[in-house]
Structure 1
Amino acid sequence: MATQLLIYGQVEAVNKQRHVDWSIKAGNNYSFAKQVNSVPLMAVEFPSAADDYSIVFAGADDEILPVVVMGVREDENLYVAEDGSWDANYVPAFIRRYPFVFASTDDGSTLTLCLDENYEGCNQEGRGERLFDADGEQTQYLTKVVDFLQDYQSHYQRTQTFCKKLNELDVFEDMGAKFTLPSGEERTLTGFKVISREKLKAIPQEELAALMANDGLELIYLHLHSMRNLNKVLQNMPQQATVADDTDTAEADVQH
């Protein structure tokens, strides 16, 4: 997975001097995300995302985060259709917050609301929702944007805590999913981590009880169940490719 700012172009801090006459015309065109094959997913999103995506993990040490797999090749998002629509019932919050994003200091103590000025919905003709009113005060729309990003940031921190605990329990292992392109070429999707069922079974009872008490166990099971969705990703490929499958079990799609 590339940097979290991959879908952003010209990012500038939102302020009344620069953006006093700016409006945002939102739409259902997600072409801005057509070249990203995975994006971060917050833990709170697992129940909504597990039916549409494979939820895996990316990163190392204290930087591990859940992500959803959206393509099997780099620079490819198979959930963005030719007309720019999103081909799934649930759109991850990482995508929905665009074109806005928080920029933070190195220690994360200060957050600054930023906007991708390259977004096609940005305009100074009054189309859509204004960022500031005639008095230079932020509009209700911009207030809702800030509230959404603050909520996202809170869930981001909770998700980090969840992943750090999983890392401490040493339940991760590297994932490799084999698939076949329409040309017949075989490839393996790597660079992600999954939770090992065997390592999960070996967790001490007290740690398992703690995971159950804070809903962590439910999240783990949603992750494991979601791995069945790798074939859903491939169904969006031209001339449908298929995941290599030797049996009828979900485990056959993923090699460790």
Structure 2
Amino acid sequence: MASAPQANRLPVLFNDLVPLNSNDHAKFRSRTLDGAHFLKNQHAIPLTVEEFPAAQRHYPIIFSAGPDPVPLALMGMNEGVNVFLDDNGKYRQPAYVPAYVRRYPFMLARLRPDADELSLCFDPTCEALGEFEEGDALFDGDQPSETTKNILQFCEDFERAVQGTAFFMEELKKHDLLMDGELKIEHQSLAQPFVYQGFQMVNEEKLRDMRGDELRKLSQNGALPLIHAHLFSLQVMRDLFAQQAADGKVPNLPAEATQTK
């Protein structure tokens, strides 16, 4: 999830990315926003495996399509729909907030594609940062403030969690446990079930058929409990659909599959 700050490769939520430095941002402060407006139209947020136990109670945990899948927390069943936030960008009820969201508008990124070192960067379009009267200073003279040091530590911890997530994904691919996902949901207002596709999930049949020694290895390296958390979380998909229906945000296309992407 660390990437070069290039416009055509910006991660989810980010509109731009610039390195934080004391020359250009000496007077910058970080203030608390009144709601997560930047999250309102996001239906899927990257998740690290460390978060599976807490996230599974609130979000369906799926895996993106393609050869290099990543875990995603679904916040809505359709692109552009987030059922967890109200019109003011505030959580409608208490729920786990993914670390990816808590990290925003900061992230560690390579300033050049060939660079090994990661630099602390931020999204300059975020209203939380700027030369404000209020908020926590990002610099003390030409040195990072305590606030910035804490931000940097959080971002470093996040990158370590990303590495652990990459190991887990390699385990799933090594055992060929992922398959194309499909979920059919019936609703009283629809003549035919809604069919959701465009994601990946663990193949429970293959999991059941694994040899005992392979399952023990998955249990010993911590992958098996994470798989179970993912499978358990899929039941929440129906809750998300029900909330979308109550909000009137379900596209009236019963004959077509709706992509989660």
TM-score w.r.t. the length of structure 2 is 0.84
- Give the SS at the match of 1:68: strand
Q: Does 1:83 align with 2:88?
A: yes
What is the CA-CA distance between 1:57 and the residue it aligns to?
A: 0.8
48-57 or 121-130, which deviates more: 121-130
The one-letter amino acid of 1:146's match is: L
Aligned match of 1:149:
155
Q: Give how far 1:108 is off.
A: 7.3
- From 35, 39, 47, the counterpart of 2:53: 47
2:182 aligned residue (159, 176, 186): 176
RMSD, aligned CA: 2.5
Task: Tell me which amino acid in the other structure corresponds to 2:202.
Answer: I
State the alpha-carbon separation in 1 of the partners of residues 27 and 188 from structure 2: 49
CA distance in 2: counterparts of 1:44 and 1:111, whole angstroms: 22
- Residue 101 of structure 1 and its aligned partner are, at CA, apart by 1.4
Report what 1:195 is aligned to: 202
**Residue segments in structure 1 that go unaligned for 5+ positions in a row:** 244-256
User: What does 1:6-45 correspond to in 2, within 5 Å?
Assistant: 6-45=12-51
Aligned partners of 1:7, 1:242: CA distance in 2, in Å? 21
**Contact 2:44/2:75, CA 8 A, preserved across alignment:** yes
Deviation at 1:86, TM superposition (A): 2.2
User: How far off its partner does 1:181 sit?
Assistant: 7.5
What percent identity do the matched residue pairs reach? 27
Q: Which residue of 2 aligns with 1:222?
A: 229
1:69 aligned to which of 70, 74, 80 = 74
User: 2: distance between equivalents of 1:27 and 1:236?
Assistant: 26
User: What is the CA-CA distance between 1:34 and the residue it aligns to?
Assistant: 1.3
In structure 1, distance between residues paired with 2:188 and 2:136: 44
Per the normalisation by structure 1, the TM-score is: 0.85
One-letter amino acid matched to 1:66: P
Instruction: Provide, for residues 159-218 of structure 1, a one-character-per-residue CA deviation record: whole Å limited to 9, x for no partner.
Output: 011111111101111112234689637543222111111010122222111111122111
Task: Give yes or no for contact 2:10–2:16 (8 Å, CA) kept in 1.
Answer: no
Structure 1: how far apart are the matches of 2:187 and 2:201? 23
From the superposition, tell whether residues 23 and 242 of structure 1 become closer, same or farther in structure 2 (CA, over 3 Å): closer
Query: Structure 1 residues 25 and 202, CA, compared in 2 at 3 Å: closer, same or farther?
Result: same
Unpaired stretches in structure 2, ≥5 consecutive residues: 1-8, 251-261
Asked whether the equivalents of residues 179 and 241 of structure 1 are also in contact (C-alpha less than 8 Å), the reply is no
Q: What corresponds to 1:246 in structure 2?
A: none
Q: CA deviation at 1:142?
A: 0.4
Query: What CA distance in whole angstroms lies between the structure 1 residues aligned with 2:21 and 2:130?
Result: 15
Provide, for residues 75-133 of structure 1, a one-character-per-residue CA deviation record: whole Å limited to 9, x for no partner: 22222211211244200001110111122354673212111111112221231111101
Q: Deviations over 1:47-87 (max 9, x none)?
A: 100100101111433x2211111111112222221121124
1:242 Cα deviation after fit: 11
Of 88-97 and 77-86, deviating more is 77-86
- 1:79 touches 1:236 (CA, 8 Å); kept in 2? no
Q: Distance in 1 between matches of 2:81 and 2:249?
A: 16
Flag the 1:201–1:29 CA change in 2: closer, same or farther, 3 A.
Answer: same
Rounded Cα–Cα distance in structure 2 between residues aligned with 1:40 and 1:181: 28
- The 1:191–1:4 alpha-carbon spacing in structure 2 relative to 1, beyond 3 Å, is farther
Aligned residues: 240
Task: Please list the CA deviations of residues 136-177 of structure 1 after superposition, one character each: whole Å capped at 9, or x if unmatched.
Answer: 210000000000000000010110111111111011111122
Look up the match of 2:253.
Answer: none
Once the two structures are superposed, the pairs formed by residues 154-169 of structure 1 within 5 Å of their partners are 154-169=160-175
What secondary structure, in the 3-state scheme, does the structure 2 residue paired with 1:184 have?
A: coil
